[in-house]
């Protein structure tokens, strides 16, 4: 399953580079956040969930660095929802430079009731967005 699939051109800034001359590990977290926001903006805007008193949160992040990304590289990020249950979703991402896979990542997330800060079942609007994106891909 590659539901809610997006592609995202990433710009490497000078402040993204660490002392070893490649993109710092912490920068990848920001890039992943940018891609998640783009994915939600495209398919199911976060403000709709917030208005209903719920929000998605991450419970884990796993990143594998396969090839260093350097200043002046032009990375392309891809992201999609690869799995879901009644309460959790799995989001996967890949970052490429010139068709070479440089990084893979996996998030596990849940939706929470913002008043109680407790996990809730997957919102129907989110399930609908998943199903719609699968049907049109």
Q: Using one digit for the tens of pLDDT, what is the confidence trace for 6-16? A: 999 999 999 99
Note the pLDDT of residue 1.
75
CA-to-CA distance for 80 and 89, rounded, in angstroms? 10
Does residue 134 sit within a domain? no
Strand partners, 8: 77
Both tokens assigned to 114: 């913002």
Please indicate, yes or no, if residue 137 is contained in any of the structural domains: no
**Residue 136 domain-assigned (yes or no):** no
CB 34 within 8 A of CB 41: no
pLDDT at res. 137: 74
* Angle between helices 25-43 and 124-136 in degrees, nearest 10: 90
Q: Each residue of 34-60: pLDDT tens digit?
A: 999 999 999 999 999 999 999 999 999
Q: Is residue 25 one of the residues assigned to a domain?
A: yes
Domain ranges, residue 63: 3-129
Q: Is residue 51 part of a domain?
A: yes
Q: How many domains does the chain have?
A: 1
Residues 46 and 40 sit within 8 Å (Cβ to Cβ): yes
CA distance 65 to 76: 15
Task: Pick out the chain residues at pLDDT < 50.
Answer: none
The separation between CA 79 and the C-alpha centre of its own chain, rounded to angstroms, equals 6
Residue 72's CB: how many other CB atoms inside 10 A? 6
CATH number of the domain to which 79 belongs: 3.10.129.10
What's the CA gap between 116 and 54, in Å, rounded? 10
């Amino acid at each position: 399953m590659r539901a809610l699939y997006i592609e995202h051109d990433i710009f490497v800034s000078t402040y993204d580079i660490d002392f070893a001359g490649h993109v710092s590990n912490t920068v990848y977290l920001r890039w992943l956040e940018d891609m998640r926001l783009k994915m939600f903006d495209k398919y199911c805007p976060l403000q709709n969930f917030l208005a209903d008193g719920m929000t998605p949160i991450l419970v884990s992040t796993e990143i594998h660095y396969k090839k260093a990304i350097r200043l002046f590289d032009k990375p392309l990020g891809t992201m999609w929802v690869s799995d879901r249950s009644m309460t959790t979703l799995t989001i996967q991402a890949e970052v490429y430079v010139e068709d070479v896979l440089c990084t893979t990542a996996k998030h596990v997330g849940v939706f929470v009731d913002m008043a109680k800060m407790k996990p809730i079942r997957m919102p129907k609007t989110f399930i609908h967005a998943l199903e719609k994106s699968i049907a049109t891909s």
